[in-house]
Amino acid sequence: MEVSVRESSLGRHKDEAVVLFQLAGTPIRKSVGSAGAQFRAGYDTLVRRGAFTGAAGQVRTLTGKRDDRVPTLVLAGLGRQGDQSRNTVRDAAAAAVRAARDHGASSVTFVLPEGRGAALSATRAAEAIADGAVAGLYRFEIYKSEKSKSAVETLTILAGSGEGKRVQRAANEGAILGECVCVARTLGNEPGNTATPTFLAEQAQALGDEHGFATHVLEEDEMRDLGMGSLLGVSAGSVEPAKLIAMTYEPKRARSKDTVAIVGKGLTFDTGGISIKPANKMEDMKFDMCGGAAVIGTMTAVARLGIGTRVVGLVPASENMPDAAAYKPGDILRAMNGKTIEVRNTDAEGRLILADALAYATTKMRPRPRAIVDLATLTGACVVALGDQNAALISNNEPLADQLLDASSSSGDALWRMPINDGYRKQLDSPYADLSNLGTPGAGTLTAAAFLENFVGKVPWAHLDIAGMAWTSKTAGTFTKGATGFGVRVMTRFLQHWKRG
């Protein structure tokens, strides 16, 4: 989406719909008046009745006449500003642009947040607005015979005189980020009968060709030669061939010599395998490749933004199916790093496909990655622990965890750190093999992380369990119903600011 920036104050041009932001308890009477005298009374009434206070998430629409200079005015609340202001602006812009679309607007103009509490620079606000608006407008309609009629085609941000260029650059970056979040969403929303491992590999290839990263796909023969018995074990029951998708972004002007690897679970449909899942909500397991989708979306973002660090993205992609050829409880698999794994539950498959991808990243890749971050819809236990508010962050390295938490706080992708220690590691002991793929009851998210740790050697590593964040049943803020694209924003910001710990 093109986002244009206009150095102009409000009310000078014809604008089909204008969005004004309001901080909690800080009325914006003057701006409302500049949008058009016809809005004054309506605004005053909303404020008097307490129907618009500027609380975060609040959106109200005032309509004038069709030939007014501004026919539709959208008021969006920002709450109280503080550390999280980029996130509230992003969410408010998303909700506001949807309200404008519902009122039939095809073009929407944003006024940057104003007033004393505006803790945000014009550029940061513009980036958040463009990102939020693009992501907020997302709809997945590929399979609908009748598409929605309403559509917003142009976004404009009003800037102060002299700052247009800088604000334009920031808005472009925000729009790119929003579009890459949507790339991940579409991969996630595609059903399992379309989004196979082969499809994911083709999509990665096409995105790399278009935006500037190289894609190499390892086929099952190559995986066998490399000894990836863990990934191949999971895929054994599927007629769809597994793929290990390896993407490389080379910066044109490197800011650092380091390579950072990001690894995403690309389980294109998780039936549970022989340890089969119950039927209720099993359809949601088409989203079990959302970690992989976030990695592909992030590769697209870093290439389009031209960041200064070399990034390798790895997506182990497979189905998990019950079948005569499927792996079974009790089977012992051997991963690429030689470790043997007793399969006690074929539904704990995510860690098995990640094991070989992580071992590949730490032992085969040249140059060696300085850090590895994996993203996975790994455990139902994470949904129990953190719900739909945070993804879990588990790491063996303090500086890496800190950088991820920093990137998280301003990106809107919320992370909450959880522990890893010998107590959890011991729960994976097996009488028959080096490791069991199942922990003893309790803390399933942490024993899953402790399992993955066996495959990263001494490389600084962090694991993000995004099981509660990867998809949603309701549209709110920048999230739209279905896959959320969670992870693209935090990983992109993390990689933009990467420094060796």
Q: Which residues are catalytic?
A: 277, 351
379 binds, among ligand BES, Mn ion, Zn ion, none (CB under 5 to 8 A by kind): ligand BES
d(CA 336, CA 347): 20
Alpha helices in 236-306 (DSSP H): 290-305
Residues 334-373 contacting Mn ion, CB under 5 A? 347, 349
- Site track 313-352 with ligand BES (rule: CB under 6 A), x = hit: --------------------------------x-xxxx--
- Site track 325-364 with Zn ion (rule: CB under 5 A), x = hit: -------------------------x--------------
Min CB(47)–ligand BES separation in Å: 43
Residue number with CB closer to ligand BES (127 or 288): 288
What does DSSP say about strands 243-249 and 310-320: parallel, antiparallel, or unpaired?
antiparallel
256 binds, among Mn ion, Zn ion, ligand BES, none (CB under 5 to 8 A by kind): none
Min CB(23)–ligand BES separation in Å: 37
First to last CA, the chain: 36
What distance separates the 2 farthest-apart alpha carbons in the chain? 78
- What is each CA distance from 100 to 17, 24, 68, 95, 379, in whole angstroms? 6, 21, 16, 9, 38
What is the residue whose two structure tokens read 């002299």? 162
Residues 403-422 contacting Mn ion, CB under 5 A? none
345 binds, among Mn ion, ligand BES, Zn ion, none (CB under 5 to 8 A by kind): ligand BES
Residues 420-439 contacting Zn ion, CB under 5 A? none
For CA atoms 169, 172, 174, 180, the dihedral sign is negative
CB closest to Zn ion, residue no: 270
- Site track 260-299 with Zn ion (rule: CB under 5 A), x = hit: -------x--x-----------------x-----------
Residues 250-289 contacting Mn ion, CB under 5 A? 270
Residue number with CB closer to Mn ion (41 or 384): 384
Q: Are 268 and 293 in contact (CB under 8 A)?
A: no
Q: How many residues bind to ligand BES according to rule CB under 6 A?
A: 16
Q: Does 379 bind ligand BES (CB under 6 A)?
A: yes
309 burial level (CB within 10 Å; 0-12, 13-18, 19+): buried
Alpha helices in 55-196 (DSSP H): 85-102, 122-136, 164-189
Q: Are 369 and 459 in contact (CB under 8 A)?
A: yes
Residue number with CB closer to ligand BES (387 or 399): 387
d(CA 254, CA 454): 31
Q: Does 374 bind Zn ion (CB under 5 A)?
A: no
Q: Does 319 bind Zn ion (CB under 5 A)?
A: no
Other Cβ atoms within 10 Å of 416 Cβ, number: 13
d(CA 279, CA 285): 11
CB closest to Mn ion, residue no: 347
- Site track 430-469 with ligand BES (rule: CB under 6 A), x = hit: --------x-----x----------------------x--
Other Cβ atoms within 10 Å of 209 Cβ, number: 11
Residue number with CB closer to Mn ion (190 or 349): 349
d(CA 293, CA 183): 8
- What is each CA distance from 83 to 80, 250, 329, 470, 496, in whole angstroms? 10, 33, 48, 24, 20
Answer for which of 64, 212, 308, 380 binds ligand BES (CB under 6 A) is: 380
DSSP bridge pairs for 393: 417, 464
Residue number with CB closer to Mn ion (16 or 288): 288
- 229: which residues sit within 8 A by CB, 6+ positions away? 333, 334, 335, 336, 356
- Residues of this chain that bind ligand BES (CB under 6 A): 270, 288, 345, 347-350, 377-381, 383, 438, 444, 467
The residues that touch Mn ion, with contacts defined as CB under 5 A, are 270, 347, 349
Q: Binding residues for Zn ion, per CB under 5 A?
A: 267, 270, 288, 350
